[in-house]
Copies of this chain bind each other. A is one copy, B any other.
Amino acid sequence: MTTVQPEKLSGEHFTSIQLGAWEQLTQYSVEVPALPGRKIPGKLFLRDLMGLSGMEISVNKFPAGVGMPFHHTHKLHEEVYLFIRGKGQFQMDGEVIEVREGTVIAIAPGGKRVYRNNSSEDLYYLVIQAEQGTLTHSATEDGVISRDAVIWPE
């Protein structure tokens, strides 16, 4: 079984990929330990692909009518679900949250989470993980503005 990889360009300090339009996410797939021997289409992890060392990101297309078959928690990772397009439901701490474009859910490691696409259209979302408590600076404290002129090619 061939594994499709996105178009990639790297430089000294960066790696960039072109995933294509969200609808095309189905071309990518992953294997997960929870479902050995099966490739899950419409899911791609970016950490190994892009050489990330402080976070993991997955990009996901969840088909109409599909739901996660189990709850899960984490040991050390804070997790953020960010919904890009479509509609679904998220369940945690006894709450059912309606998710759609612009919904963001931040979860502490111990939160028992499950979600589903209970709509008739595909649901697109990101899942971002980082180790809880590891960010010691704010974004603006950490950023350094350069005085070099900004020049764009014609």
Contacts and interface: CB of A to CB of B under 8 A. Distances in A.
A9 interface: yes
Number of copies of this chain that the complex holds = 2
Interface residues of A, number: 94
Contact of A57 (B15, B82, B92): B82
Interface in A101-124: 101-108, 110-114, 116, 118
Interface string A59-74: 1000000011111111
A76 B140 CA distance: 12
A20 interface: yes
Interface of A: 9, 11-22, 24, 32-34, 45-47, 50-59, 67-78, 80, 82, 84, 89-97, 100-108, 110-114, 116, 118, 126, 128-140, 142-148, 150, 152-153
